[in-house]
Amino acid sequence: MAVYKAPLRDMQFVLYELLDVEAELAVMPAHAETNRELIDQVLEEGARFTTEIVFPLNQSGDLEGCHLDTTTHTVTTPKGFKAAYDKFVEGGWAALACDPQYGGQGLPIILNNAFYEMLNACNQAWSMYPGLTHGAYECLHAHGTPEQQSVYLPKLVSGEWTGTMCLTESHCGTDLGLLRSKAEPQPDGSFRITGSKIFISSGEHDLTENIIHLVLARLPDAPAGTKGISLFIVPKFIPDAKGNPGERNTIYCGAIEHKMGIHGNATAQMNLDGAKGWLLGQPNKGLNAMFVMMNAARLGVGMQSLGLTEVAYQNAVVYANDRLQSRSLSGPKAPDKPADPIIVHPDVRRMLLTAKAWAEGGRALTFFVALQIDRELNHPDEMIRKEAAELVTLLTPVVKAFITDNGWQATSEAMQVFGGHGFIAEWGMEQFVRDSRINMIYEGTNTIQSLDLLGRKVLSDNGAKLKRFGALVQQFVEENGTTEALQEFVNPLAELGEKVTKLTMEIGMKAFQNQDEAGAAAVPYLRVIGHLVYSYLFARMAKLALAKADSGDGFYTSKLATARFYFARLYPETAMLIRQARSGSANLLALPAELF
Backbone angles phi, psi at 234, to 5 degrees: -130, 95
| In the predicted structure, residue 436 carries a pLDDT above the cut 80 | yes
**DSSP-derived secondary structure letter, 569:** I
Give dist(CA 198, CA 508) in Å, integer. 36
Q: Tell me the residue length of the chain.
A: 596
Kindly tell me the burial class for residue 227, based on how many C-beta atoms sit within 10 Å of its own C-beta (0-12, 13-18, 19 or more): exposed
Does the structural domain 8-67+75-143 have CATH classification 1.10.3720.10? no
- Alpha helix segments (H runs only) across 379-486: 382-417, 429-437, 446-451, 464-480
What is the mean predicted confidence (pLDDT) over 341-348? Answer: 98
CB-based contact 308:120 (threshold 8 Å): yes
Question: How far is residue 7's CA from residue 360's CA, in Å, rounded to a whole number?
Answer: 10
* Angle at which helices 286-322 and 109-143 cross, to 10°: 160
User: What radius of gyration, in Å, describes the C-alpha atoms of the chain?
Assistant: 24
In this prediction, residue 171 has a pLDDT band, given cuts at 50, 70 and 90, of confident
> 541-576: string of b/e by CB count within 10 Å (b at 16+)?
bbbebbebeeeeeeebeebbebbbbbbeebbeebee
Percent residues over pLDDT 70 in the chain:
100
Q: Can you say whether residue 202 is alpha, beta or left, with left for phi > 0 and alpha for psi between -120 and 50 degrees?
A: left
- pLDDT tens digits, residue range 274-318? 999 999 999 999 888 877 777 888 999 999 999 999 999 999 999
- Residue, of 316 and 173, whose pLDDT is higher: 316
Can you say whether the dihedral through the CA atoms of 272, 274, 275, 281 is positive or negative? Answer: positive
pLDDT of residue 287: 83
Q: Check residue 178 and give its pLDDT.
A: 79
Distance, in Å, from the CA atom of 49 to the CA atom of 568, rounded to the nearest integer, reads 38
Is pLDDT of 466 > 90? yes
Based on the residue annotation, tell me whether 45 is a catalytic residue of this protein.
no
pLDDT bracket for residue 207 (50, 70, 90): very high
pLDDT confidence of residue 291: 77
Q: Is the pLDDT of residue 192 over 90?
A: yes
Q: What pLDDT shows up at residue 286?
A: 87
- Predicted local distance difference test score (pLDDT) of residue 508: 97
What pLDDT sits at residue 173?
A: 72
Give the tens place of pLDDT for each residue, 517-546.
Answer: 999 999 999 999 999 999 999 999 999 999
Chain segment 546-581, per-residue pLDDT in tens: 999 999 999 999 999 999 999 999 999 999 999 999
pLDDT attached to residue 175: 73
Query: Which letter does DSSP use for residue 27 in this model?
Result: T
Rounded to the nearest 10 degrees, the angle between the axes of helix 429-437 and helix 382-417 is: 140
- Note the pLDDT of residue 296: 82
Cβ neighbours for 498, distance < 8 A, ≥ 6 positions apart: none
pLDDT the model gives residue 288: 83
Cα(340)–Cα(57) distance, rounded to whole angstroms? 34
Nearest CA to 300 out of 442, 466, 453 is that of: 442
User: Which pLDDT score, from 0 to 100, does residue 390 have?
Assistant: 96
So what's the pLDDT on residue 126?
98
Residues 449-462 pLDDT 10s: 999 999 999 999 99
Q: What is the C-alpha to C-alpha distance for residues 50 and 492, in angstroms, rounded to an integer?
A: 38
Query: Is residue 328 pLDDT above 90, yes or no?
Result: yes
CA distances from 544 to 17, 537, 550 (A): 7, 11, 12
Higher-pLDDT residue of 170 and 547 is 547
Spell out the CATH class of 162-286.
mainly beta
pLDDT tens across 374-415, in order? 999 999 999 999 999 999 999 999 999 999 999 999 999 999
C-alpha distances in Å from residue 176, one per residue of 204, 225, 433, 478: 22, 8, 29, 45
Residues 6+ apart with CB under 8 A from 147: none
Q: Which of 138, 376, 443, 517 is catalytic?
A: 443
Write 386-392 long-range contacts (CB < 8 A, 24+). Answer: 387/468, 390/464, 390/465, 390/468, 391/465, 391/468, 391/469
pLDDT given for residue 290 in this prediction: 78
pLDDT score, position 318: 98
Nearest to 20 by CA among 371, 363, 370: 371
Distance CA 441, CA 101 (A): 36
Q: How far is CA 475 from CA 82, 191, 342, in A?
A: 50, 54, 42
Q: What is the pTM for the complete model shown?
A: 0.97
**DSSP 3-state of 255:** strand
Average pLDDT, the chain: 96
Cβ within 8 Å of residue 237, ≥6 positions away: 209, 210, 245, 246, 247, 248, 249
Answer for the pair 398, 444: CB distance below 8 angstroms, yes or no: no
**Cβ atoms of residues 217 and 178 within 8 Å:** no
Q: Per-domain residue ranges for the chain?
A: 8-67+75-143, 162-286, 450-591
pLDDT score recorded for residue 60? 98
Q: For residue 328, how many other CB atoms are within 10 A of its CB? A: 16
Residue 358 has a pLDDT of 98
Angle between helices 516-547 and 464-480 (to 10 degrees): 30
